[in-house]
Amino acid sequence: MSNSINIGNVVKKYGELTIIPNLSVQIKNGEFFTLLGPSGCGKTTLLRMIAGFNSIEGGEIKFDDMIINNISAHKRNIGMVFQNYAIFPHLTVRQNVEYGLKIRKIPKAEMKKKVDEILETVKISDYQDRLPEKLSGGQQQRVALARAIVIHPSVLLMDEPLSNLDAKLRVEMRSAIRDAQKKVGITTVYVTHDQEEALAISDRIAVMNQGVIQQVGTPEEIYARPNNVFVSTFIGHSNLFYGKVGRDSNSTYVEFTNGYKILLDNLSQDCKAGMKVIISVRPEEFSIANDGLKVKIKNRTFLGKHTNYELDFSDSMIIPNQPSIEYSQDLGQSTKTYEAGEMLSLKPNAYKINVFTEDGQKSLIKGCD
């Protein structure tokens, strides 16, 4: 039986150093839940706390209603998959998968049935008599996955399981992992620093930075309505502009420093006229229109499905220290391309753009505050 995981006010310290100051999150039974964040933000640390490999300096972790803080790792009934496979080199695929069941003294016939089933689920039946050295990285990772889920753990924990695989295999393995997880229906916590992988694989994502969860939501929610500037720039690309709020008798708008206005009907009540804000526009949220922002193209990059234009806005309009300001033109929608030096008139999509407080900490879109 799979469990929910309830993490309440947990604290992690290494000596004097606090890595996780106070973190709470509820992971639902059967959910594919991803911890996503930059290197060093504490993802592995939190995963190891759930697994029982790390001490917990404050708060509680519960599987359903049972507090597990003081239950040792091997009694938590957890399946784990790491980036370096951790399968036994001297055992065949089948023996590797059987291993956990043998330890649990599962009767032979039942063991055979369970192993057959899992080998089928992760699609490695054909290799069952091979030694791991005769398998590709992706196949080895399937063995590790089969071995972790065959014991029917309460929760499955995965730490960057695809990072040793090449790009194409990573994409293929994403679906393999997700399909197996859904079929078995096991609560899964997955750690990655790869945002595309997180978007592709997860039911919900927690975006972490410096030991603090910035936002929890479905991939769509996090991409479309990030809570703060960190999330908006960590997940996908966002162009950030200085702006201020304006109100007149029957409309509310944000205004760029060059006076360009976008009418918005979804700004939160906190937005007072004159308030300084950050306007966040994704590259695909611009479209070419006569009444847009006038801007010069810096360079053009053809990327197959779309063309990326780097834009040359005046420094007074854009928040400093951004890698680039970009417009992405979907080639399915347009055949005309533009060259460096040409002027464009780009209109941001009022329904899609995001607005944040001046310090970047809070969204000012209704429902995201």
Ligand X SMILES: Nc1ncnc2c1ncn2[C@@H]1O[C@H](COP(=O)(O)OP(=O)(O)OP(=O)(O)O)[C@@H](O)[C@H]1O
Which stretches of the chain bind ligand X, using CB under 6 A? Answer: 14, 19, 37, 39-45, 193
Residue placing its CB nearer to ligand X in the complex, 38 or 185: 38
> Cβ atoms within 10 A of the Cβ of 307, count?
17
User: Residue 337 CB: number of other CB atoms within 10 A?
Assistant: 12
| Strand residues in the chain grouped as ranges (E) | 5-14, 17-27, 32-36, 58-63, 66-67, 78-81, 155-159, 187-192, 204-209, 212-217, 239-248, 251-256, 261-263, 276-281, 286-302, 306-312, 326-330, 343-348, 354-357
Shortest reach from residue 15's CB to ligand X, in Å: 7
Q: Residue 49: exposed, middle, or buried by beta-carbon count in 10 A (0-12, 13-18, 19+)?
A: buried
Q: Which is nearer to ligand X, 213 or 267 (CB)?
A: 213
Least distance to ligand X, CB of residue 27, Å: 17
Contacts of 14 (CB under 8 A, 6+ apart): none
CB of 36 to ligand X, least distance (A): 9
Q: Give the sign of the dihedral formed by CA 337, CA 338, CA 343, CA 348.
A: positive
Pick the closest to residue 97 from 142, 136, 133, 134 (CA basis): 142
For residues 100 and 211, which CB has a smaller minimum distance to ligand X in the complex?
A: 211
Looking at the Cβ atoms of 48 and 94, the one nearer to ligand X is 48
Give me the sign of the Cα torsion angle 134, 138, 139, 140. Answer: positive
Taking only Cα atoms into account, the Rg of the chain, rounded to an integer number of angstroms, comes to: 24
CB of 7 to ligand X, least distance (A): 15
**Between residues 111 and 201, which has the closer beta carbon with respect to ligand X?**
201
Give the pair of three-digit tokens for residue 109.
Answer: 């016939």
Contact call for residues 146 and 118 (beta carbons, < 8 A): yes
Q: Which is nearer to ligand X, 122 or 189 (CB)?
A: 189
User: Is 46 within 8 Å of 20 (Cβ atoms)?
Assistant: yes
Q: Which C-beta is closer to ligand X: that of 42 or that of 348?
A: 42
Smallest distance from ligand X to CB 252, Å: 39
Residue 369 Cβ, how far from ligand X at the closest point, in Å?
A: 27
Q: How far is the CB of 215 from ligand X (least distance, A)?
A: 16
Nearer to ligand X, 2 or 141 (CB): 141
Q: How far is the CB of 225 from ligand X (least distance, A)?
A: 24
